[in-house]
Amino acid sequence: MVRPYAMTRGRTGSGDAKLDLITILVATGRESNDFIRLSREQRRLLELCGRPTTVADLASEVDLPLRVVQVLLGDLLQQDRIEEVPQALLTERPDPRILMRVLDDLRRL
């Protein structure tokens, strides 16, 4: 069993990255120019970021404390292996007709 502070080498912050629970991350597919070896946990996080995923989902999936996951993700961000999905891409508005149908169905209940 490895202690959380050993996984992060004693660090408690994720560098310049501000990663909250709902930050959505995705793998860039780029290899790092540095010859930095990834830990088993970082490789797993990178694999999970193959599709857009929130920080909360990643922490749940790898079963590690949120702060540890944020530090590990901060390292991957600095290495350009993952990137944050811009919120502008995620703010598509739903069709008003669908919303009206949902509202009508809720009123019927």
- For residue 82, what are the β-bridge partners? 27
Map out the domains of the chain as residue ranges: 4-108
- The answer to whether 12 and 71 have CB atoms below 8 angstroms apart is yes
Angle between helices 40-48 and 55-62 (to 10 degrees): 130
* Each residue's pLDDT tens digit, 74-89: 889 988 899 988 765 5
* Each residue's pLDDT tens digit, 12-26: 555 566 788 888 999
> What would the CATH number be for the domain defined by 4-108?
1.10.10
Average pLDDT, the chain: 80
Q: Residue 94: CB partners within 8 Å, gap ≥ 6?
A: none
d(CA 10, CA 5): 5
Percent of the chain with pLDDT over 70: 72
* Each residue's pLDDT tens digit, 28-78: 988 765 556 888 888 899 999 999 999 999 999 988 888 889 988 988 998
**Amino acid 12: pLDDT:** 56
Q: Residue 80: CB partners within 8 Å, gap ≥ 6?
A: 28, 30, 32
